[in-house]
A = this chain, B = another copy of it.
């Protein structure tokens, strides 16, 4: 199941993956702030920076964010010492108009965050499996802010501490072929 890289890319991209085995060891606050700092410098449309974060590290805050997860995520994510809810602001602050790129730009910020985590020896796992309604209620979110994903952050834990059925999934995910990502345009390998 080894990943195949036909083209050399940044080591952090090669080694990053999304484990479910988290060590309960606390993550230094400085690391978590640096992760958000990395996200902060992502590019965005009109430099709107539509991403927002709710960072949970205390037992109470973790319990809050854990309470919105679906059971299949909670079973492993409850071990993570930090959870981060990523939200996006749907409108441009200067005009109030819809920002078509609010989700896209927030995803870019999450990408930067994930690589900064990898650089710091931390693992991350993004989860879409949570109740958006519960997140909205929990934080009394205004209509303009939508919850997107919950990120588990921590140090890699022991695979053997995962429930058995999750152990076999505990490896870097494969990807579709590079060629299959190109739509309409000819395969670039046949060009010039």
A residues neighboring B (CB under 8 Å): 3, 5-10, 12-14, 16-18, 29-30, 32-34, 36-43, 45-47, 49, 51-58, 61, 87-88, 100-101, 103-112, 114-116, 119, 126, 128, 139-140, 145, 148-149, 173-176, 178, 181-185, 188-189, 191-192
Contact = CB atoms under 8 A, between A and B. Distances in A.
A53 B107 CA distance: 16
Contacts of A52: 181-183
A119 B7 CA distance: 13
A119 B8 CA distance: 11
Nearest to A110: B108
B112 A109 contact: no
Contacts of A61: 185
A40 B176 contact: yes
Interface centre among A14, A104, A115, A188, by most chain B C-beta atoms within 10 angstroms, is: A104
23 contacts: A6-B33, A8-B34, A10-B12, A13-B38, A13-B115, A13-B116, A29-B191, A36-B182, A39-B181, A49-B175, A49-B176, A49-B181, A53-B181, A53-B185, A55-B185, A57-B188, A88-B104, A103-B104, A104-B106, A104-B107, A107-B107, A107-B111, A108-B110
